[in-house]
């Protein structure tokens, strides 16, 4: 362990961290700190994986991070930061149990990184953000930036080829050529794709997160054998790694490892065949056709509504409906309105952005599940053109808050209303 000179804060040298090039960061979800409704990530993990120098000025109490041509300066205790000497709004850095943490959303937006979050791993990937112009269409953009139409659709969660002027699209920098600099970002042509490890940040980091060690331990094989699955075959492609495969196919990484007899350190190669396990959640009886299934979050609901899935939410009282996407979250579902129209519909229902809870029905995969929703935008986001700066909270039976891991009684009461139970 090394002390950052003059700071008096112990920061770990994560010797075992995976470096996937300078354009991507991967970290376990249990390393994320939730503070005042915001997500924070350990400074050293971020700077190590970005190969970004970090320094502490004891006189000014500032923490400086430099990535390529971007210099970010945080001052301890202040709700602002400097980006290339320009003062911008930012959540303050946090120090907890001797570890310094950076605000995830601010870092991602400042460094033009897209956040993908599954149950086990968070991935931040550098992307070029393209604003759709008059006369643009997907094929034209794909030809200009050297991507396929299908890849643009996949990166941006597009269901078809329709785009609108002003819409923001993510373009992968490892494939795209920057129009401003004409710089080509090369791909890694190595046949070995990635040595995936959930323990990538070394045993020292595990000690710092001792209360969450169960998520890093071996998969509970007894539980796996008692669970019903549907299986599909998957051939490993160039650019694949295990957490990416699980995220894009909306399955649990732990299930993927267990079913295929893999470990956290298994090397996968192009052409390898994997079984993709999808959990089968049995139907549960409903009180009436107007109510939803009263499904447990931990063993049922989270698998019917995995990260990346789109669902229809219907307000239990008024019947007003809109579309949402589950983007993040482990203790409960962190979701976003799918479009600006969906934001407007929900905002009209709540009267404004609000932490107030409402009983709702979530329709996904032909099932209707009882849930509770608030509609206050906060923290990180993945959909940029929906007029909603952040995500909102969606709770199911027995789900918990991220900030303290406790049941939220207000949400649980509304879930019972939607389920028609006492």
Q: Could you tell me the residue ranges of all domains in the chain?
A: 24-125, 128-171, 222-279, 301-419
CA distance linking residue 118 with residue 120, whole number of Å: 6
Nearest to 84 by CA among 113, 58, 111, 108: 111
CATH superfamily, with its number, for domain 128-171:
LysM domain (3.10.350.10)
Mean pLDDT for 18-47 is 77
The confidence band for 51, taking pLDDT boundaries of 50, 70 and 90, is confident
User: Please, which residues have CB within 8 angstroms of residue 176's CB and are 6 or more apart in sequence?
Assistant: 128, 145, 146, 147, 185
Q: What is the domain class of 222-279 according to CATH?
A: alpha beta
Q: What's the pTM?
A: 0.68
Q: What are the tokens at 193?
A: 């794709």
Mean pLDDT for 97-117 is 87
Angle at 27 (CA atoms; ends 78, 191), nearest 5 degrees? 140
Of 15-19, 345-349, 401-405, least confident by mean pLDDT is 15-19
Residue with tokens 């923001």: 168
8 Å CB contact between 217 and 211: no
Name the most confidently modeled range: 45-49, 268-272, 326-330, 350-354: 350-354
CA distance linking residue 40 with residue 56, whole number of Å: 19
pLDDT over 70 (residue 223): no
CA distance linking residue 49 with residue 69, whole number of Å: 17
8 Å CB contact between 377 and 399: no
User: Please, which residues have CB within 8 angstroms of residue 182's CB and are 6 or more apart in sequence?
Assistant: none
pLDDT over 60 (residue 234): yes
Same fold: 24-125 with 222-279: no
Q: What are the tokens at 116?
A: 């993908």
The larger pLDDT score, comparing residue 375 to residue 47, is at: 375
3-class DSSP assignment, residue 19:
coil
* pLDDT value of residue 23: 67
Q: What would the pLDDT profile of 191-218 be if each residue is shown by its tens digit?
A: 333 333 323 322 223 222 333 333 333 3
The confidence band for 173, taking pLDDT boundaries of 50, 70 and 90, is low
8 Å CB contact between 94 and 35: yes
- Can you say how many angstroms the Cα of residue 18 is from the centroid of all Cα atoms in its chain? 18
The confidence band for 174, taking pLDDT boundaries of 50, 70 and 90, is very low
8 Å CB contact between 256 and 246: yes
Nearest to 259 by CA among 236, 238, 282, 233: 233
H helices, E strands: number in the chain:
11, 26
pLDDT over 60 (residue 369): yes
* pLDDT value of residue 347: 97
- The C-alpha torsion from 408 through 414 and 417 to 418, rounded to 10°, is -110
**Percent with pLDDT over 70 in the chain:** 81
* pLDDT value of residue 11: 28
Of 28-37, 120-129, 209-218, 249-258, least confident by mean pLDDT is 209-218
pLDDT over 80 (residue 14): no
Q: What are the tokens at 40?
A: 């924070």
CA distance linking residue 342 with residue 160, whole number of Å: 18
pLDDT over 60 (residue 109): yes
User: Please, which residues have CB within 8 angstroms of residue 55's CB and are 6 or more apart in sequence?
Assistant: 63, 64
Helix (H) or strand (E) holding 205: helix 202-208
CA distance linking residue 307 with residue 327, whole number of Å: 5
- The C-alpha torsion from 316 through 321 and 326 to 329, rounded to 10°, is -30
* pLDDT value of residue 205: 31
* pLDDT value of residue 349: 97
Mean pLDDT for 309-325 is 97
Mean pLDDT for 334-340 is 96
CA distance linking residue 6 with residue 58, whole number of Å: 5
3-class DSSP assignment, residue 330:
coil
Q: Does domain 24-125 have CATH number 3.30.457.10?
A: yes
Beta bridge partners of 375: 354
Q: What would the pLDDT profile of 284-302 be if each residue is shown by its tens digit?
A: 999 999 999 999 999 999 9
User: What is the rounded average pLDDT for all residues in the chain?
Assistant: 80
């Amino acid at each position: 362990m090394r002390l950052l000179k003059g700071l008096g804060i112990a920061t770990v040298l994560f010797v075992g961290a995976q470096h996937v090039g300078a354009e991507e960061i991967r970290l376990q979800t249990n390393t994320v700190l939730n503070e005042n409704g915001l997500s924070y990530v350990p400074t050293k993990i971020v700077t190590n994986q970005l190969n970004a120098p970090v320094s502490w000025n004891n006189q000014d109490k500032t923490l400086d991070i430099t990535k390529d041509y971007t210099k970010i300066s945080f001052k301890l205790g202040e709700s602002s930061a400097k980006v290339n000497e320009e003062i911008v709004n930012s959540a303050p850095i946090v120090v907890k149990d001797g570890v310094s943490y950076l605000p995830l959303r601010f870092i991602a937006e400042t460094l033009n990184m897209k956040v993908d979050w599954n149950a086990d791993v968070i991935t931040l990937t550098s992307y070029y953000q393209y604003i759709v112009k008059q006369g643009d269409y997907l094929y034209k953009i794909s030809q200009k930036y050297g991507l396929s139409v299908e890849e643009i659709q996949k990166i941006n969660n597009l269901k078809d080829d329709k785009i609108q002027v002003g819409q923001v699209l993510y373009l992968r920098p490892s494939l795209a050529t920057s129009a401003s600099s004409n710089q080509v970002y090369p791909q890694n042509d190595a046949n070995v794709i990635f040595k995936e490890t959930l323990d990538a940040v070394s045993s020292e980091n595990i000690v710092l997160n001792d209360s969450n060690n169960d998520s890093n331990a071996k998969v509970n094989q007894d539980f796996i054998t008692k669970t019903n699955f549907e299986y599909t075959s998957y051939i490993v492609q160039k650019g694949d790694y295990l957490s990416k495969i699980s995220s894009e196919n909306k399955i649990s990484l732990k299930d993927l490892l267990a079913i295929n007899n893999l470990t956290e350190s298994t090397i996968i190669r192009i052409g390898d065949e994997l079984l993709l396990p999808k959990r089968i959640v049995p139907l549960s009886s409903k009180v009436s056709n107007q109510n939803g299934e009263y499904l447990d979050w931990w063993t049922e609901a989270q698998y019917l509504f995995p990260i990346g899935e789109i669902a229809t939410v219907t307000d239990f009282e008024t019947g007003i409906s809109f579309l949402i996407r589950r983007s993040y979250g482990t203790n409960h579902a962190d979701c976003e309105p799918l479009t600006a129209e969906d934001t407007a519909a929900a905002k009209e229902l709540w009267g404004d952005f609000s932490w107030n809870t409402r009983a709702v029905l979530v329709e996904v995969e032909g099932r209707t599940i009882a849930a509770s929703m608030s509609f206050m935008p906060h923290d990180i986001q993945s959909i940029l053109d929906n007029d909603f700066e952040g995500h909102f909270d969606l709770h199911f039976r027995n789900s918990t808050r991220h900030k303290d891991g406790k049941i939220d009684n207000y949400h649980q009461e509304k879930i019972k209303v939607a389920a028609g139970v006492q």
